[in-house]
Amino acid sequence: MAGSRSKARKRALDILYAGELRNETPSASLDRWIQEGEPLSNPYTVELVKGVAEHLQEIDREIREAAEGWTLERMPVVDRNVLRLGVYELLWAEDVPDGVAVSEALALVQELSTDDSPSFVNGVLGAIQRSKAGKPTP
């Protein structure tokens, strides 16, 4: 199952990345992928994109607070969207352990982004994870 979720994360990243390049919301990008007949065989892909779309403002606020010295706009598009997926999983995907959310995000940026991206993404997600640990659960 872990392998299928990793593939779902990569496909969700593809959707978020393509949508951002087209100035589409995550929901609009997902809808376009479905209309164009792209295979979305794993329901977790849809869950991730819809989750990011639903919580985008909160996710971006968390990233801004944790990414000291970096604006969202200055981050590479891949990193920004991997962070969005990672933050969604950290804060809203109750069936995903924090360590898995972070390691999966790192695997994506190691494969798809710059040499500096893994340490940057790890630092941002680590700060959000520590912040989450200090917050009372609702």
Tens of pLDDT along 44-82?
Answer: 999 999 999 999 999 999 999 999 889 999 999 999 999
Angle between helices 56-66 and 117-133 (to 10 degrees): 110
Q: Residue by residue, what is the 3-state secondary structure of 24-73?
A: CCHHHHHHHHHHCCCCCCCHHHHHHHHHHHHCHHHHHHHHHHHCCCCCHH
Give the homologous superfamily in CATH for domain 2-133.
Answer: NusB-like (1.10.940.10)
Q: End-to-end distance of the chain based on CA atoms, in angstroms?
A: 29
At 114, give phi and psi (nearest 5°).
Answer: -80, 170
Tell me what pLDDT residue 2 has. Answer: 55
Q: Is the pLDDT of residue 126 over 90?
A: yes
Report the alpha-carbon distance of residue 36 to residue 111 in Å, rounded: 26
The structure tokens listed for 48 are 């991730």
| Class of residue 136 by CB neighbours under 10 A (exposed 0-12, middle 13-18, buried 19+) | exposed
pTM, whole model, 2 decimals?
Answer: 0.93
Give percent of the chain above pLDDT 70.
96
